[in-house]
Structure 1
């Protein structure tokens, strides 16, 4: 499956990833679990349960725009794992507004 992942930090601060293929969703979840811990992400949820979209948004937020601007393997792994977990062709990760759109 092809994935088009856009990570936005606001106007004129968008990072575009067009990927083919993917990885098993459980590997992608493990990658996000690891990054969530390494980046010391903190998400306040009313239920105490952290959903996949919360992990994706938090990892993007805590890693910051610089991690995406520098490109490289980390940013591509983020996009690939996002596509694998959400399973959509087009995904927009809007860090500024803390939302994910399809």
Structure 2
């Protein structure tokens, strides 16, 4: 069964991404962590927690936020990588990443 991930920005713009079973099976949980760790560091994201602990949800939200709406619009391959790795780590059929409200819902 395909999974869907929607990334919504406060501008009203949403990006709906579909991840097929074969595509998801090709990504391990470890690969998902490595991908988000790398993107988080490259984007110089800031920890949301005052104690510095960064949860997977924080990484997924901040990578979307610091990458910005334009990157999702302009780089379909990167956006699909984002969706694939997020889907692996969150392990849910439907995910909504609401960047404007800093929330992830299932």
TM-score, structure 2 normalization? 0.90
2:42 alignment partner in structure 1: 38
Q: Secondary structure at the match of 1:34?
A: helix
1:62 alignment partner in structure 2: 66
Deviates more, 1:21-30 or 1:88-97: 21-30
Unaligned runs of 5+ in 2: none
2:55 alignment partner in structure 1: 51
The aligned runs of 1:11-30 (5 Å cut-off) are: 12-21=12-21, 22=24, 23-30=27-34
TM-score, structure 1 normalization? 0.94
Query: Is the CA contact 2:48–2:58 (under 8 Å) kept in the aligned structure 1?
Result: no
Query: Is the CA contact 2:4–2:16 (under 8 Å) kept in the aligned structure 1?
Result: yes
Q: Secondary structure at the match of 1:97?
A: coil
1:10 alignment partner in structure 2: 10
Unaligned runs of 5+ in 1: none
Q: Which runs of 4+ in 1 moved over 4 A?
A: none
2:78 alignment partner in structure 1: 74
RMSD: 1.2
Residue 96, structure 1, aligned to residue 100, structure 2:
yes
